């Protein structure tokens, strides 16, 4: 099992009212729980990192809410190359990270709404946005095609990310034409 949502193109979605908005402090425990459900680790540690992200004006956390319940999360972080980074380090820029939708709420277009909102936020600050994903995560790769992401490389490292060589792809979308 990959841990990614099963790719099911053409599956019809049920209509649901979703509000996507910037996260608030009260949302962060649910976000931390969503992250831990995917990656493991400590929800308290994840929440602490999210609190710091929320306080940083150069980072963004978006949440999807249905009937007052947070059902999805996604973030944007900046990355700056340092002189000591290896030559295969991902380029400087803003990166979409951590798109996670509660399993009960998948196939409602929530990932698309969260991605659209994070791109909107990034377009106010940069001319391009990046993300990286496991090559086996066909759901996220297909989702991001509609936003104009194209492959940059499969030979890269990203500081702090546990990427296994040859398993991930780095993608970029220009934001000038939006």
Q: Across the strands, what pairs with 65? A: 19, 70
What global pTM score does this model have? 0.87
φ/ψ (deg, to 5) at 106:
-70, 160
- The C-alpha angle 158, 159, 165, rounded to 5 degrees, equals 45
* Domains, the chain, with CATH or none: 19-174 (3.40.630.30)
Q: Where are the alpha helices (DSSP H) in the chain?
A: 28-39, 43-55, 110-123, 138-145
Give the tens place of pLDDT for each residue, 37-67. 988 999 999 999 999 999 999 999 999 999 9
> Which residues lie across from 172 on neighbouring strands?
130, 150
* d(C-alpha 55, C-alpha 43), whole Å: 18
E-strand spans in the chain? 19-22, 60-66, 69-79, 93-101, 128-134, 150-153, 168-174
With pLDDT > 70 as the criterion, what percentage of the chain qualifies? 90
Span 134-156, pLDDT tens digits: 888 888 888 888 899 999 999 99
Contact indicator for 27, 54 with CB cutoff of 8 Å: no
The alpha carbon of residue 115 and the mean position of all alpha carbons in its chain are separated, in whole angstroms, by 7
Q: For residues 156 and 131, give the distance between their C-alpha atoms in angstroms, rounded to a whole number.
A: 12
| pLDDT tens figures, 78-116 | 999 999 999 999 999 999 998 999 998 988 899 999 999
């Amino acid at each position: 099992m990959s841990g990614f949502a099963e790719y099911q193109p053409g599956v019809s979605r049920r209509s649901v009212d979703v509000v996507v908005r910037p996260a608030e402090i009260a949302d962060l425990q649910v976000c931390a729980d969503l992250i831990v459900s995917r990656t493991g680790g400590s929800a308290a540690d994840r929440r602490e990192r999210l609190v710091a992200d929320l306080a940083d004006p150069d980072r963004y956390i978006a949440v999807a809410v249905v009937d007052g319940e947070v059902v999805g999360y996604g973030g944007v972080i900046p990355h700056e190359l340092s002189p000591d980074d290896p030559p295969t380090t991902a380029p400087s820029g803003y990166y979409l990270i951590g798109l996670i939708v509660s399993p009960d709420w998948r196939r409602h277009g929530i990932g698309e709404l969260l991605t659209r909102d994070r791109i909107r936020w990034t377009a106010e600050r940069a001319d391009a946005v990046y993300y990286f994903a496991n090559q086996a995560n066909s759901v996220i790769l297909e989702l991001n095609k509609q936003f104009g992401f194209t492959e940059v490389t499969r030979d890269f490292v990203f500081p702090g990310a546990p990427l296994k060589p040859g398993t991930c792809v780095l993608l970029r979308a220009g934001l000038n034409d939006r």
